[in-house]
Amino acid sequence: MATETGVLDDALARASTGDEAGFLELWRALQPRLLRFLRVVGCEDPDDVASETWLQVVRDLHRFSGGEEDFRRWLFTIGRHRAVDAARARARRPAGTATSGLDILADTQQVEDQVLEGMSVQDAVALLSRLSRDQAEAVALRVIAGLDTLDVAKILGKSAGAVRVALHRGLKALADDPSVRELAGRHAKRAAALGTGRLAGQSPAAGAAGPGGPGSAASFWKLEEVD
């Protein structure tokens, strides 16, 4: 899964000339991280904000020059701005029936879902978003977006020193959070029981193609039986 920085340079160059395959390569690589970043910063409709972000990126892509690093910094800068805009727009609207009764009822099932799925990306994002805004943004841009400290500082409008302080405080707060330890411990235990190195990192659809694969019905139920 992990790839070297710069592998998207070719896709970026092709997308800039209107190549759809190049754009899809970029989108597939960066959309999940953009969504996770938006969730960490508390965006209430990350799908919508991500769509707005990509729309602006595509419209201005012909004016962009630079490599993958520059593109990621640009993408997440736009994403952060759009998230701020969305939050302001939401604040201007009167409070309405934002939460349906069904959602409240369904949330009570999340513990059951976690048992089925192990430590999910959703859990991890939720834990990260419990940090202070400054710390969560710094850690998310550094870890999820994969930007270096200087780029994070530029996006947040802070000095590199201030970002380093926020990063270290955020990491310490996460390490001291019992929920992080509990979830990680449960995840490791389950992974060991199933003989897999990692559960949360697996794509549920990845093995759906063949019988008996990780996404097949058999392994899906095996997961529940172990729990």
Judged by CB, which is closer to another protein: 95, or 111? 111
Is the Cβ of residue 133 or residue 198 nearer to another protein in the bound state?
198
Residue 14: CA atoms inside 13 Å, Cβ hemisphere, count?
14
Phi (first) and psi of residue 196, to 5 degrees: -115, 150
How far apart, in whole angstroms, are the C-alpha atoms of residue 154 and residue 37? 17
CB of 6 to another protein, least distance (A): 10
CB of 190 to another protein, least distance (A): 12
Least distance to another protein, CB of residue 90, Å: 14
**159: Cβ–Cβ under 8 A, 6 or more apart, which residues?**
153
Decide if 37 contacts 124 (C-beta within 8 A). no
Give the number of other CB atoms < 10 A from CB of residue 62.
10
**Closest of 47, 36, 198 to residue 124, by C-alpha:** 36
Q: Between 90 and 198, name the residue whose CB sits nearer to another protein.
A: 198
Q: Give the residue with the Cβ less far from another protein, 5 or 159.
A: 5
Minimum CB–partner distance for residue 116 and another protein (Å): 6
Nearer to another protein, 31 or 158 (CB): 31
Q: How far is the CB of 139 from another protein (least distance, A)?
A: 9
Among 183, 69, 192, 79, smallest CA distance to 125 is for 183
